[in-house]
Amino acid sequence: MDKKSFTRLKVLFTFLNIVVGWHILYEGFVKLIDPSWTSASYLVNASGFLEGIFQSIAESPLLLQVTDIINILVLTLAGLFIFIGLFTRYAALSAALLIGLYYLANPPVVSTGAGFGIEGNSLIVNKNLIEIAILILIAFIPKNWYYGVENLLKFELKKKLPGKVVVPDEMNHFGKDDPALSRRAIVKNLISLPFLGGFAFLAAKNHGWKSFEEENFLASNLASDGTTSPTIKITDTVNLNQLIKPVPKGRLGGLEVGRIICGGNLISGFAHSRDLIYVSRLLKTYFNEKKVMDTFWICEECGINTTAISAKPNEVKILNNYWKQGGKIQWIAPTYPSEANYKENIDFALDHGASAIIIMGNVGDEWARSGKFELMAKTIDYIKSKGVSAGVAGHEIETIKGAEEHQVGADFYMKTLHSRNYWSWKPEQAKDKMIIDNYSIDNYWDRNPDETISYMETLDKPWIAFKVLAAGAVHPKNGFRFAFEKGADFACVGMFDYQIVENANLLTEMFNSKDFSRSRMWA
């Protein structure tokens, strides 16, 4: 190798040290400045043959505290030393060992308890394993192959050891270092310091220079944003350590279902955003496949074990991929049967893993208005003949009344329910249009909540309330209380990933409060 080629190689290895050191240092830094950070969630969700050891650490306050301190120290110091090129071999091997433990805690072999909170199934080789390999490479690169502080320090003994072959300087064409204290050598070997200054500037800007409003907004952001770490990385505002306990469950047909059901509107892009025409596209952009999987996984960790996404190809494809990665969430499928072919969409849902089937609210309302209860009954019978529970959804209470009066055989119902106490409910506006004719106005989903409450009280079948938050206009604390106190057995709610833990806790706090009052028996 000629001297020019060796110089290029040296620059590349220096760059490798800087970027790897930057990454590891940052992960240690964000844990260091976050007093609430802990590795508990990662350890609790450990899988593989060592899961018992890792979970026992999480259960011991002393061991957990020691583990957290070790994580912070090793990541911060190892990252800094690799960054500046000092004690590089020891720093790289220490970091490789620590990240190796992260890998063993959640090996990506099929799927992990932490599942999509980290990376999903990477089929053995994931970014942790790749970084371990790079760190081992860095550890065994000769120090004169990169620029760093260590090259300025004279740690090596100058005397010749017995039997040691010393290459004369004049024969060492490309491996010879500049004189240690020459100006050129000092500048080259301190090349990482400007990058370290840039790191400090950006870190301070991101974590230290916040306005009062930013501090308020980020007050609930307790999750580390380092990702090669014993922290479950979902979003910057999700921390499963805040979960009080999983939501309670009830019976829906043959299923055990969490009292909150993960709604499908956000995932499908149906935002009911009124005149904000950009919102549906914004939601579809936010909820890419990985984000949907993250959302499902957080739901499951919070006891929200069921979703109600539409029986449409794109949504079902994502759900099926989630199951392939080890997800267990149940699917109650809203379907769109037609009079011409009422079986097709139902078969599609059943073929793709639906645990229960609902006749979609728009369809139920239209069939009830047209008096097609015989068709509704035939559809319900067909669903039940496939061995799954069958339900009818409706925005109108007349849909549910008609289904009961004509004995269509539904196992459960799904009905809109929300209070009138939200900004776009206009008391002076006549609520004379059926909901399915109201999309040009789109600011009420239950025309007469009192009638809904009164009638559903008489039924002995389980029912799911939906639109309980009036498309985001009602706070969950108020929407959940209204729905469950007024008789709903379950609430189907569209949620962003960062809202799930809070919603689960609101439900727990509400059920545990002394003033929670409900007269209807639970399903």
Residue 220 has pLDDT above 50, yes or no: no
214 or 9: whose pLDDT is higher?
Answer: 9
Residue 284 has pLDDT above 60, yes or no: yes
Q: Kindly report, residue by residue over 459-496, the tens digit of the pLDDT.
A: 999 999 999 999 888 999 999 999 999 999 999 999 99
Q: Are residues 295 and 369 in the same domain?
A: yes
Structure tokens at 89: 């071999």
CATH for 430: 3.20.20.100
- What's the sign of the alpha-carbon dihedral 129, 134, 136, 139? negative
First to last CA, the chain: 77
Q: Residue 402 belongs to what domain range?
A: 243-512
44 or 146: whose pLDDT is higher?
Answer: 146
pLDDT of residue 209: 53
- Judge whether 412 lies within some domain: yes
- Average pLDDT estimate for 25-54: 84
Compute the distance between CA of residue 91 and CA of residue 75 in angstroms, rounded to an integer.
Answer: 9
Compute the distance between CA of residue 135 and CA of residue 101 in angstroms, rounded to an integer.
Answer: 14
Number of domains the chain contains: 2
Task: Answer yes or no: pTM beyond 0.75.
Answer: no
Structure tokens at 86: 């000092």
Q: Are residues 188 and 257 in the same domain?
A: no
Report which of 520, 500, 506 is spatially closest to residue 417, judged by C-alpha positions. 520
pLDDT of residue 254: 87
Compute the distance between CA of residue 131 and CA of residue 228 in angstroms, rounded to an integer.
Answer: 9
pLDDT of residue 224: 42
Cβ-based neighbours of 214, under 8 Å, separated by 6 or more: none
Structure tokens at 266: 């956000």
- What's the sign of the alpha-carbon dihedral 28, 33, 38, 41? negative
Structure tokens at 176: 């010879």
Q: Are residues 260 and 393 in the same domain?
A: yes
Residue 319 has pLDDT above 90, yes or no: yes
- Judge whether 226 lies within some domain: no
144 or 230: whose pLDDT is higher?
Answer: 144
pLDDT of residue 242: 86
pLDDT of residue 140: 94
pLDDT of residue 165: 55
- Judge whether 25 lies within some domain: yes
Compute the distance between CA of residue 414 and CA of residue 260 in angstroms, rounded to an integer.
Answer: 13
Residue 39 has pLDDT above 50, yes or no: yes
- For residues 471 and 266, the answer to whether their CB atoms sit within 8 Å is no
Which of the four pLDDT bands, split at 50, 70 and 90, describes residue 230? low
- Judge whether 216 lies within some domain: no
Residue 294: CB atoms within 10 Å: 24
Residue 212: CB atoms within 10 Å: 7
Q: Are residues 203 and 256 in the same domain?
A: no
Q: Are residues 281 and 399 in the same domain?
A: yes
- Average pLDDT estimate for 228-253: 74
Q: Are residues 22 and 90 in the same domain?
A: yes
Residue 161 has pLDDT above 80, yes or no: no
- Judge whether 225 lies within some domain: no
Residue 225 has pLDDT above 50, yes or no: no
For the chain, what is the mean pLDDT?
84
Q: Are residues 343 and 467 in the same domain?
A: yes
Compute the distance between CA of residue 124 and CA of residue 108 in angstroms, rounded to an integer.
Answer: 5
Q: Are residues 187 and 287 in the same domain?
A: no
In percent, how much of the chain has pLDDT > 90?
54
- Average pLDDT estimate for 384-392: 97
- Average pLDDT estimate for 178-196: 67
Burial class (CB in 10 A: 0-12, 13-18, 19+), 198: exposed
Q: Are residues 387 and 499 in the same domain?
A: yes
- Average pLDDT estimate for 346-373: 97
- Judge whether 218 lies within some domain: no
- For residues 482 and 221, the answer to whether their CB atoms sit within 8 Å is no
Please identify which residue in the block is written with the tokens 């999987």.
293
pLDDT of residue 205: 62
- Judge whether 518 lies within some domain: no
Residue 157 has pLDDT above 50, yes or no: no
Could you list the beta-strand ranges (E) of 156-259.
249-252, 255-258
Q: Are residues 492 and 345 in the same domain?
A: yes
DSSP states of 323-384: HHTT---EEEEEE---SS-SSHHHHHHHHTT-SEEEE-HHHHHHHHHTT-HHHHHHHHHHHH
pLDDT of residue 280: 78
Q: Are residues 203 and 247 in the same domain?
A: no
Which of the four pLDDT bands, split at 50, 70 and 90, describes residue 148? confident
Q: Of all helices (H) and strands (E), which one includes residue 493? A: strand 490-493
Q: Are residues 192 and 252 in the same domain?
A: no
**Strand-strand pairing, 249-252 and 255-258:** antiparallel
- Judge whether 48 lies within some domain: yes
Residue 257 has pLDDT above 90, yes or no: yes
Report which of 491, 498, 499, 496 is spatially closest to residue 248, judged by C-alpha positions. 491
